[in-house]
Amino acid sequence: DEHDHHDGNDDHELRVSKIRDGTVIDHVHGGQALNVLAILGIDGTNGEEVSVGMNVPSDRLARKDIVKVEGRELSQDEVDVLSLIAPDATINIVRGFDVVEKHRVERPDVVEGVLSCPNAGCITTGGEPVTSRFSVLEDGVRCSYCETIVRDEIASLIDT
């Protein structure tokens, strides 16, 4: 039945535990989970309780990653930037073990302070206190300061 493959579990195992209250970021393309955490600024140093499943079997995608953040409800703004690397992600808000909200990520028009410009001559990379800013294109992102366009390697621009 449709519940056979949640989180890549079958009838015998649940690979990543359910959470009580927080956010489940589901249907992340395989291999992008660590980039999801980087974009959300989660590196574990603040004591966040985070579970990550990587390359688990999925009905919808061949393989998926899944990220579960306990005790934190991510806002739509916070997750929209995830659309750049996880366009098919589903955001589930969980309260008392129940999914109370489910939404898809949406592509924002602009992304600020999350990506760093690959152009060494850009004012945002020269040690000036300028926050990075990219406009989101159909097929990539463009630095608002130097107009550099990045299409394929967006994940490599994530500020970690």
Comparing CB distances to ligand CTP, the nearer of 4 and 138 is: 4
User: 115: which residues sit within 8 A by CB, 6+ positions away?
Assistant: 132, 134, 141, 154, 157, 158, 159
Instruction: Tell me: does residue 97 bind ligand CTP (CB under 6 A).
Output: yes
| Residue 68 binding ligand CTP, by CB under 6 A | yes
The smaller minimum CB distance to ligand CTP, of residues 73 and 145, is found at 73
Nearest to 103 by CA among 94, 111, 112, 92: 92
Per DSSP (E only), the strands in the chain are 22-29, 49-57, 63-70, 90-95, 98-104, 110-112, 133-137, 140-143, 149-150
Of 23, 90, 124, 132, which one interacts with ligand CTP (CB under 6 A)?
Answer: 90
DSSP 22-55: EEEEEEEETT-HHHHHHHTT--STT--EEEEEEE
Task: Closer to ligand CTP by CB, 82 or 114: give it.
Answer: 82
Nearest residue (CB) to Zn ion, 79 versus 141: 141
Asked whether position 74 contacts ligand CTP by CB under 6 A, the answer is: no
Q: How far is the CB of 48 from ligand CTP (least distance, A)?
A: 15
Q: Rounded CA gap, 34 and 38, in Å?
A: 6
Q: Which of ligand CTP, Zn ion, none lies near 24, with the C-beta cut-off 5 to 8 A by kind?
A: ligand CTP
Task: Indicate which of Zn ion, ligand CTP, none lies near residue 90 (CB less than 5 to 8 Å, by partner kind).
Answer: ligand CTP
Distance (Å, whole) CA 66 – CA 48: 16
Binding site for ligand CTP (CB under 6 A): 6-7, 18-19, 24, 26, 66, 68, 90, 92, 94, 97, 99, 102
